[in-house]
Amino acid sequence: MGFRSWYNTQKVGVQVAVVAGVLTILSGVVAGVFGIVDVELAKPGSQPPTSAPTATRTTSAPATVTPSSGVPIPVSPAFRLYDPDSTGVYGVAFSSSGTLAAGDLNGSGYLWDVAKDKVTGTFPDSNGEGIFGVALSPDGTMLAASTVNVHGYTKGSIVLWNTSSGKLIDTLNAPNGRAFGAAPPAFSPDGSAVAAANANGSVYIWNTATGKPGGTLPNPNGQSDYGIAFSPTTGFLASANDIGTTFLWNTKIGSIVQTFQDPDSQGVRGVAFSQDGSTLATGDNNGNVYLWNAATGAPMATLYGPKGGFVQSIAFSPRGGILAATSDNDKDHKYVTCVWDTTGKLLATFQDPGSLGVTRIAFSPDGSILAVGDENAYTYIWNMNWHSS
């Protein structure tokens, strides 16, 4: 079951306890295939099941292909991290120091030392809600997760933890009691605010120091927002909805400063800003990513992905010049991560090893690796050193 199915069931209000069970069964099947044990990956105070796969690092360079460009591109991940709860990974994010945060459908957040394949922090959601997106504050001191009750998707919250102590800082709820989860939360560039998209069509902002509401951004179309991102330079917030419109907000005064309309009139789920804030990327349900001049709203390039897929997570490389996006196609069961340069050239297509559905992605601070969450309970680590820009 791909990520598109989750959105569809949320929109029609179908009870999805069965979905959670299917995901658990599927992750168990994958566990039986790999069958490797590493106690370093156990949750603190417990041992992993003897049949559970774990993080595995290749001892030699992964296989590569050499296209006409002459640049060898890996055809398999360098290694993989197995979720300690044995369930789908729906959130990944890196801190500025290189620590990887991941959140799973069982409602737990984890911090990973990627170099050692080791869990360094565990953050259970006290409400028992599944995590569908995570974000780390710019200074790495706070971990935010958007959570949803997987037995109906009618309730949810934004949970904040202290990454050093592991203690719960706050649980933030929407005034209407509706769920979060369609989009990962997002921290403002200075970390003073956290934003989240709500199922009622509004983006809510809170002060991270006090937990008090800091503003509401109602979608003018009345549609639910499926992707949000703060500009690292202006602090403006981009919010994308299911009818293909992305709004750029001045959050201080609550006004729209720019509007971007998807050329295919498709819903937009993934949004991201370049490191210098000059470019906004939006990914649609047709599998394409569009680059826009964030200041003027002018289109800059079209990045064509697999036809029929849908993009729901985008990340720019800190090295500049390239970006990556996940593409899910439930109809044909094709789940890939695409890498382009900013002129629109497709550089690589990473096939999903689990063939269940790729979820969120994130580049490491130096751009050397790309982390890809997967519905099969793995986070795949792809080596990006083949691209030197």
Give CA–CA dist 300/287, Å, rounded.
Answer: 17
Decide if 80 is inside a domain.
yes
Decide if 49 is inside a domain.
yes
Report the chain (389 residues): mean pLDDT per 10 consecutive residues.
43 34 34 28 29 42 54 86 94 96 94 94 83 94 88 76 94 76 88 90 92 90 85 95 92 94 87 96 92 96 84 93 86 82 93 86 96 95 83
Decide if 274 is inside a domain.
yes
Nearby residues of 129 by Cβ (< 8 Å), 6 or more positions away:
107, 147, 148, 149, 150, 155, 156, 157
Contact by Cβ (8 Å): 360, 91: yes
Q: What is the CATH number of the domain that holds 305?
A: 2.40.128.630
Range of the domain at 60: 3-121+229-383
Angle between helices 17-34 and 3-12 (to 10 degrees): 170
Decide if 152 is inside a domain.
no
Decide if 160 is inside a domain.
no
Give CA–CA dist 245/179, Å, rounded.
Answer: 21
| Percentage with pLDDT > 70 across the chain | 77
Decide if 166 is inside a domain.
no
What pLDDT score was predicted for residue 250?
Answer: 96
Radius of gyration, alpha carbons of the chain: 19
Count of domains forming the chain: 1
Decide if 208 is inside a domain.
no
- Phi, psi (rounded to 5 degrees) for 19: -60, -45
Decide if 216 is inside a domain.
no
Helix (H, G, I), strand (E, B) or coil at 259: strand
